[in-house]
């Protein structure tokens, strides 16, 4: 199971690198073409925006795995261990709820946007914004796992600190 987990997140990290490289190449190429030759490639502007959307959602999955999302821990650090576990359980339950909302909304928008196409590339807009589905599922699953861990006492702050430095 650990190997499958590593493979899944390794693929996400590779996709992040490829998306960032593609964005960089497309935007830089367009800047050179615009200022050097007075022209540009329309498709690269649209594709770089789509890459950015995918980069954000896939990056959120990677950040969640590494506990690197921005957080407000002032309250957590001043309370006792038992209260801390309760607060972390509640926080992760809220994340699961938000991921459920994101998944539901994305699936509804997917149906609405199924016939809409991007103006330049002609890609279906449901494919472009469909990345929210795996993001909601992956982040929600990680949050649910951590929520159960905090609620049962299996996961502690020390355990979390070890995961951060992986």
11-70 residue pLDDT tens: 999 999 999 999 999 999 999 998 988 888 889 989 999 999 999 999 999 999 998 888
The 10s digit of each residue's pLDDT in 55-97 is 999 999 999 999 888 877 788 888 888 999 999 999 999 999 9
Residue spans of the domains in the chain: they are 2-164
pTM to 2 decimals?
0.85
3-class secondary structure, 114 = helix
CB atoms within 10 A of CB 166: 7
C-alpha 128/C-alpha 131 separation (Å) is 7
C-alpha 166/C-alpha 160 separation (Å) is 10
β-pair partners for 117: 124
In the chain the beta strands, taken as DSSP E runs, fall at none
């Amino acid at each position: 199971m650990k190997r499958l987990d590593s493979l899944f997140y390794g693929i996400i990290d590779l996709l992040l690198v490829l998306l960032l490289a593609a964005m960089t190449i497309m935007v830089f190429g367009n800047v050179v073409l615009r200022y050097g030759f007075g022209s540009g490639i329309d498709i690269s502007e649209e594709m770089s925006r789509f890459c950015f959307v995918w980069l954000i959602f896939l990056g959120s999955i990677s950040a969640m795995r590494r506990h690197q999302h921005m957080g407000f821990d002032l309250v957590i650090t001043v309370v006792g261990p038992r209260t801390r576990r309760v607060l972390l359980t509640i926080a992760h339950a809220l994340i699961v709820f938000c991921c459920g909302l994101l998944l539901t909304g994305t699936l509804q928008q997917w149906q609405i946007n199924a016939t809409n196409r991007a103006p330049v590339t002609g890609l279906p807009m449901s494919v472009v914004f469909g990345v929210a589905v795996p993001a909601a599922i992956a982040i929600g699953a990680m949050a649910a796992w951590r929520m159960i861990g905090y609620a049962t006492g299996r996961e502690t702050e020390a355990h979390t600190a070890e995961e951060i430095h992986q």
